[in-house]
């Protein structure tokens, strides 16, 4: 009976993804760096450091389930970070104007990607690659190629230091006696929103249908173009949220931020067990994937493994995780 | 004809049996082709012609029986081995690689090279030699995709010639050609024959058989009906050979009912690959009444499936002519609009275009009706479940299958799920394209009973089926398409298999 339980648990993608996470955490318990792994602060930091990637992975999950890919999220994050800093630091906008403003920027980027790929039928890889370059350019244009920080130039050419805006301080803060970061809470809210969209709303069902068999979906009356555009818009919005968080944590808007983040977000989605071919997967799996990569990186860093080794090991582990996922499917 | 009796066969297939799972698609089939003859392989859809060709071409290697080439036993294990044996197959869907040059295509897999480096000049010279043999004056360095389909067909033949093929199989080679191109092709076939090649020719056009056939082998339901010189097999007899099975009483007799006219098409044309290209459906006019089954007869390439897709809005604006639904003129720009107007389509390939195999049965069955089941966008799982159950229960799909992945079901059950999806939006007009393809007898019978039940409820049904008995028993009336045009229409009880097949092969019927 026990065997049957394990068999069925490992037969599902969620079971296999959880097993991978469990192995990583066990490794952490063994190589605990003199008890550092058992401190609550370690876990708080792990979650804080992976939250920005996790938010990107939420949007990426929606797009990948619909059979697409979004390479632009890292650039959109940088653009949103620059915009947020510009609005909050330079222009002194209040939070209730900064946040909708940045989300509008993300929406516009996502809508453009979506229209080009779903409406004009450019391959998603190409369409979002273009958006990746385009958004990076806009970010540099908006920031003048420099970091938008609290050091502000006066009219006479001298510099002054302005106060960190309250929005940034609120986000880069910990609650529950300092045990949980606000960005982690934002990440979990994003997961919840994506979960509701995927499993409680008609649109989620449409995304699965399009990713599983686009032609069958179209012939069943699914509004394929609209549903796909919405997926890219959602990805753009999540990227903007991640950008605001990034700006708050760094207290500046760096137009060079987020380079390569899109690949990490894709890796997190895939490690969870969502199929890159579309049609299969879920946001719960992505949550597991985010935690797996986050903890893996943390455990390697508390054990003082140099960055070179960390990258090599992470690469190997991503392939291993995906191979296990594939074996289970056939 | 000019065949001497002592010429020994160039190719012989002896006692070929091929099964797909439990189903035998070829049973003990014999075939022989003589040098210098054009041998037509005739039969209805699903008679086993393509399977036989694929065995000869080394695509199906798992079969019983023997193949002899020039009297020596051979067993091609791959298309490459078949080519080495002198067998070339010119498939219906051309097997050329568009962006590569004509010369590259002709010598694909046999590229002349020294130390791995392609010798372009040599390749181009010999490619030019072969295309000139066919009377083609083209630049062989140009990519294949730049040439019209007819030229590509000839390039394909040049490729076969360059392999020194002696047995050349042509599967409906004229389907994309116009009259002068057909003449060129037939001239070429004559010269192939005079060189001692054996041409095995598959066609659904009676006129072509009359023009070029030397001998004819007829297949029916995977068995060889007979071989005869073309002169001894006039069209009427050929059709009798192709059809001649007793229809049996294995199907429930359909009791005709008819109400008000539900659908009327006036000069309806469909252009799947653009308005400037050839019409797949050409000025078709027909009508169906509520509670009536209009069967659409036709062989491969008749345009029947395109008619359904065009009507359903799947080609968007690529249709012409007028369509009236309950006496209101309509034109659907997308399947979504068609579904909203009470039209449902069961596609002919449930795996490719019917179902989302990675989703559950319940999700598939409710996919088309989801807007009504999720008011405000929010899903109501219990409503979906109830709706799926209400549709699948009459089809005797157990509740336990509802949460299974559609891909895990048998063909018959998948077909029922696809039907459930169609019916979920309570259609007034139901278009069934090959509703019983690839499913077992029990499931077939159940689907026939469902058709009976739906017409009793007043649903109008358009039916495409390549199975003659099914067409005859399920339909109230039958319209036959040939190359996109209606060539015959039969009222209740007036259709015979022979007349349908003759019309489907392009013979106009004087009723």
Most B-contacting residue of A195, A213, A219 (CB-CB within 10 A), to test interface: A219
**CATH code of the domain containing A275:** 1.10.3470
User: What confidence category does residue B118 fall into, taking pLDDT thresholds of 50, 70 and 90?
Assistant: confident
- The closest CB to that of B359, out of A200, A212, A219, belongs to A212
How crowded is residue B6: how many other Cβ atoms within 10 Å of its Cβ? 5
Contacts of B368 in chain A (CB under 8 A): 220-221
- On whether residue A5 sits in a domain, the answer given is no
Contacts of A196 in chain B (CB under 8 A): none
User: What confidence category does residue B251 fall into, taking pLDDT thresholds of 50, 70 and 90?
Assistant: low
User: What confidence category does residue B120 fall into, taking pLDDT thresholds of 50, 70 and 90?
Assistant: confident
- On whether residue A3 sits in a domain, the answer given is no
Specify which of A127-136, B47-56, B471-480 reaches the highest per-range mean pLDDT. Answer: A127-136
Rounded CA separation B39/A275 (Å): 49
Low-confidence ranges of chain A (pLDDT < 70): 1-3, 9, 325-330
CB B169, CB B56: distance < 8 Å: yes
- On whether residue A212 sits in a domain, the answer given is yes
Q: What is the pLDDT of residue B509?
A: 52
Inform me whether the pLDDT recorded for B300 exceeds 70.
yes
Chain B residue nearest residue A222, CA to CA: B336
Rounded CA separation A111/A314 (Å): 33
Contacts of B334 in chain A (CB under 8 A): 218, 221
- On whether residue A275 sits in a domain, the answer given is yes
What average pLDDT does the segment B321-333 reach? 92
**DSSP of B111-164, one letter per residue?**
--EETTEE-HHHHHHHHHHHHHHTT----TTSBGGGS-HHHHHHHHHHHHHHTT
What b-and-e string marks burial along B196-211, b requiring 16 or more CB atoms within 10 Å of the CB?
A: ebbbbbbbbbbebbee
Inform me whether the pLDDT recorded for B311 exceeds 90.
yes
Helix axes A73-85, A261-272, angle to 10 degrees: 130
DSSP for residue B12: E
What average pLDDT does the segment B98-102 reach? 88
User: What confidence category does residue B151 fall into, taking pLDDT thresholds of 50, 70 and 90?
Assistant: confident
What average pLDDT does the segment B86-104 reach? 82
The share of chain B scoring above pLDDT 70, in percent, equals 93
Distance of residue A210 Cα from the nearest chain B Cα, in angstroms: 8
- The closest CB to that of B358, out of A199, A202, A280, belongs to A280
Inform me whether the pLDDT recorded for B4 exceeds 50.
no
What average pLDDT does the segment B427-449 reach? 84
Rounded CA separation A217/A67 (Å): 12
**DSSP of A170-214, one letter per residue?**
HHS-EETTTTEEHHHHHHHHHHHHHHHHHHHBHHHHHHHHHHH-H
Distance of residue B315 Cα from the nearest chain A Cα, in angstroms: 11
Contact A219 B347 (CB under 8 A): yes
- Rounded (10°) CA dihedral B104, B92, B484, B459: -120
- On whether residue A6 sits in a domain, the answer given is no
- On whether residue A141 sits in a domain, the answer given is yes
Q: What is the pLDDT of residue B436?
A: 84
**Per-residue tokens: A242:** 């991640």
Distance of residue A166 Cα from the nearest chain B Cα, in angstroms: 36
Domains of chain B: 11-243 (3.40.50.300), 250-342+427-511 (3.40.50.300), 357-425 (no CATH)
Q: What is the pLDDT of residue B466?
A: 79
- The closest CB to that of B335, out of A202, A211, A219, belongs to A219
- On whether residue A1 sits in a domain, the answer given is no
Query: How does the average pLDDT of chain B come out, rounded?
Result: 85
Rounded CA separation B46/B49 (Å): 7
Contact B377 A279 (CB under 8 A): no
CA B164-B176-B335 angle, to 5 degrees, is: 135
Higher pLDDT, B221 or A130: A130
Inform me whether the pLDDT recorded for B510 exceeds 50.
no
Per-residue pLDDT of B439-474, as tens digits, reads 766 777 788 888 988 998 899 999 998 778 788 888
Contacts of B363 in chain A (CB under 8 A): 205, 208-209
Residues 6+ apart with CB under 8 A from B124: B103, B140, B141
Q: Is B92 helix (H, G, I), strand (E, B) or coil?
A: coil
For chain A, the domain total comes to 1
Q: Look at residues B175, B464, B460 and name the one whose alpha carbon lies nearest to residue B298.
A: B464
What are the angstrom distances between the C-alpha of A117 and each of A108, A230, B285? 14, 12, 38
- Ramachandran angles phi, psi of B439, nearest 5°: -125, 160
Range of the domain at A63: 16-325
Per-residue pLDDT of B152-184, as tens digits, reads 878 888 888 888 888 999 888 877 677 777 887
Q: What is the pLDDT of residue B248?
A: 47
Contact B336 A203 (CB under 8 A): no
User: What confidence category does residue B106 fall into, taking pLDDT thresholds of 50, 70 and 90?
Assistant: confident
How crowded is residue B394: how many other Cβ atoms within 10 Å of its Cβ? 14
Q: What is the pLDDT of residue B249?
A: 47
Most B-contacting residue of A216, A230, A277, A281 (CB-CB within 10 A), to test interface: A216
Q: What is the pLDDT of residue B419?
A: 92
Higher pLDDT, B145 or B419: B419
Q: What is the pLDDT of residue A63?
A: 97
Contact B358 A218 (CB under 8 A): no
Most A-contacting residue of B351, B359, B376 (CB-CB within 10 A), to test interface: B359
- On whether residue A9 sits in a domain, the answer given is no
Residues 6+ apart with CB under 8 A from B76: B56, B57, B58, B61, B67, B82, B85, B87
Q: Which of the residue ranges A230-234, B92-96, B343-347 would you say has the lowest mean pLDDT?
A: B92-96
Q: What is the pLDDT of residue B175?
A: 72
Q: What is the pLDDT of residue A291?
A: 95
Rounded CA separation A123/A101 (Å): 29
């Amino acid at each position: 009976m026990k065997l049957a339980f394990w068999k069925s648990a490992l037969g599902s993608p969620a079971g296999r993804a959880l097993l991978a996470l469990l192995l990583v955490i066990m490794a952490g318990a063994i190589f605990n760096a003199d008890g550092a792994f058992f401190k609550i602060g370690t876990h708080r930091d792990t979650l804080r450091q992976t939250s920005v990637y996790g938010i990107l992975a939420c949007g990426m999950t929606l797009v990948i389930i619909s059979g697409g890919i979004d390479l632009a999220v890292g650039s959109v994050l940088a653009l949103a970070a620059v915009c947020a800093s510009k609005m909050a630091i330079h222009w002194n906008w209040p939070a209730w104007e900064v946040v909708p403003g940045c989300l509008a920027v993300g929406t516009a980027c996502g809508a453009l990607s979506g229209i080009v790929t779903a409406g004009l039928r450019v391959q998603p890889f190409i369409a979002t690659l273009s958006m990746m370059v385009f958004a990076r350019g806009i970010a540099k244009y908006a920031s003048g190629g420099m970091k938008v920080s609290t050091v502000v130039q006066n009219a006479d050419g001298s510099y002054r230091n302005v106060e960190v805006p309250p929005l940034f301080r609120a986000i880069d803060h910990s609650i529950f006696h300092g045990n949980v970061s606000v960005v982690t809470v934002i990440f979990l809210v994003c997961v919840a929103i994506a979960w509701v969209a995927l499993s409680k709303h008609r649109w989620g069902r449409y995304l699965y249908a399009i990713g599983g068999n686009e032609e069958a979906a179209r012939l069943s009356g699914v509004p394929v173009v609209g549903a796909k555009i919405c997926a890219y818009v959602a990805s753009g919005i999540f990227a903007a949220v991640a950008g605001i968080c990034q700006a708050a944590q760094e207290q500046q808007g760096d137009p060079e931020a987020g380079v390569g983040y899109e690949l990490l977000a894709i890796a997190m989605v895939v490690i969870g067990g969502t199929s890159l071919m579309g049609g299969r997967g879920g946001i719960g799996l992505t949550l597991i994937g985010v935690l797996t990569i986050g903890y893996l990186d943390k455990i390697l860093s508390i054990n003082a493994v140099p960055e070179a080794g960390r990258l090599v090991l992470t690469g190997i582990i991503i392939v291993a995780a995906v191979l296990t996922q594939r074996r289970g499917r056939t | 004809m000019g065949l001497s009796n002592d010429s020994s066969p160039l190719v012989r297939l002896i006692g070929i049996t091929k099964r797909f799972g439990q189903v035998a698609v070829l049973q003990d089939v014999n075939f022989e082709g003589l040098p210098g003859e054009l041998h037509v392989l005739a039969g209805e859809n699903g008679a086993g012609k393509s399977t036989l060709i694929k065995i000869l071409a080394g695509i199906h290697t798992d079969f019983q029986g023997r193949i002899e080439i020039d009297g020596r036993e051979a067993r091609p294990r791959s298309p490459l081995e078949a080519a080495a044996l002198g067998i070339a197959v010119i498939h219906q869907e051309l097997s050329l690689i568009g962006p590569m040059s004509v010369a590259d295509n002709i010598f694909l897999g046999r590229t002349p090279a020294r130390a791995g480096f392609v010798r372009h000049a040599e390749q181009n010279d010999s490619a030019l030699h072969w295309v000139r043999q066919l009377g083609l004056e083209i630049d062989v360095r140009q990519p294949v995709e730049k040439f019209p389909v007819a030229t590509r067909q000839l390039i394909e033949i040049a490729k076969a010639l360059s392999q020194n093929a002696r047995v050349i199989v042509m599967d409906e080679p004229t389907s994309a050609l116009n009259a002068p191109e057909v003449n060129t092709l037939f001239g070429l076939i004559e010269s192939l024959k005079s060189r001692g090649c054996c041409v095995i020719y598959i066609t659904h056009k009676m006129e072509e058989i009359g023009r070029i056939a030397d001998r004819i082998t007829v297949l029916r339901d995977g068995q060889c009906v007979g071989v005869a010189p073309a002169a001894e097999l006039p069209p009427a007899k050929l059709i009798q050979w192709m059809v001649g099975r007793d229809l049996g009483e294995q199907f429930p007799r359909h009791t005709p009912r008819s109400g008000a006219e539900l659908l009327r098409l006036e000069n309806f044309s469909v252009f799947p690959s653009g308005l400037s290209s050839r019409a797949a459906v050409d000025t078709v006019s027909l009508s169906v009444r509520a509670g009536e089954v209009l069967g659409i007869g036709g062989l491969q390439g008749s345009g029947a499936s395109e008619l359904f897709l065009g009507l359903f809005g799947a080609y968007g604006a690529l249709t012409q002519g007028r369509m009236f639904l309950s006496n209101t003129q309509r034109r659907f720009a997308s399947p979504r609009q068609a579904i909203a107007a009470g039209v449902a389509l069961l596609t002919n390939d449930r795996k490719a275009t019917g179902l989302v195999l990675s989703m559950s049965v319940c999700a598939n069955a409710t996919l088309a009706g989801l807007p009504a089941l999720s008011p405000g966008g929010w899903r109501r799982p219990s409503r979906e479940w109830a709706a799926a159950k209400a549709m699948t229960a009459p089809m005797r799909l157990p509740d336990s299958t509802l949460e299974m992945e559609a891909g895990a079901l048998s063909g018959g059950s998948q077909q029922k799920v696809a039907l459930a999806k169609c019916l979920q939006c309570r259609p007034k007009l139901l278009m069934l394209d090959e509703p019983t393809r690839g499913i077992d007898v029990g499931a077939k019978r159940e689907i026939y009973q469902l058709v009976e039940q739906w017409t009793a409820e007043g649903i109008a049904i358009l039916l495409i089926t390549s199975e003659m008995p099914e067409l005859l028993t399920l339909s109230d009336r039958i319209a036959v398409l040939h190359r996109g045009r209606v060539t015959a229409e039969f009222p209740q009880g007036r259709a015979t298999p022979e007349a349908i097949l003759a019309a489907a092969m392009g013979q106009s019927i004087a009723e």
